[in-house]
Amino acid sequence: MRIVFNYYKILLGVNIPFSFVFGYMYGMPAFVISFCTLGLVLSTFYFELYYKQQYYFYFNKGFTKFRLIGLSFLANLVVVGIGFIVMKIIHR
């Protein structure tokens, strides 16, 4: 899973700033939606443009492009879910 985390860190480098800007413009719900969908698509596109050759490395380790993107989506859902739980606890 360490290999997947390296992929996820690269995606977060694009996803978080884009989602923050989107969230600043349209509010917190827009940040969450952007973080899980549009930001992930944009960061995957960025990875495709600038790090495309690294997909061979991940494939040799047993991870297809589809599996990497799926695991990143699941990780985003977990992060958002934990964020919602923390916000519920704080705003009691």
The predicted model scores a pTM of 0.88
> Cα–Cα distances in Å, from 80 out to 21, 53, 63, 67, 83?
17, 30, 24, 20, 5
pLDDT > 90 in the chain, percent: 80
C-alpha dist (Å) from residue 37 to 28, 40, 53, 54, 90: 14, 5, 24, 23, 26
- Residues 49-86 have pLDDT tens digits of 999 999 999 999 999 999 999 999 999 999 999 988 99
Q: What's the CA gap between 34 and 18, in Å, rounded?
A: 8
In a 3-state reduction of DSSP, which class is residue 87? helix
* pLDDT at position 41: 95
Counted domains in the chain: 1
Who's near 23: CB < 8 A, 6+ residues apart?
30, 31, 32, 34
| Domain that residue 85 falls in | 2-90
Average pLDDT over residues 44-52: 94
Round to whole Å and give the CA distance between 39 and 13.
10
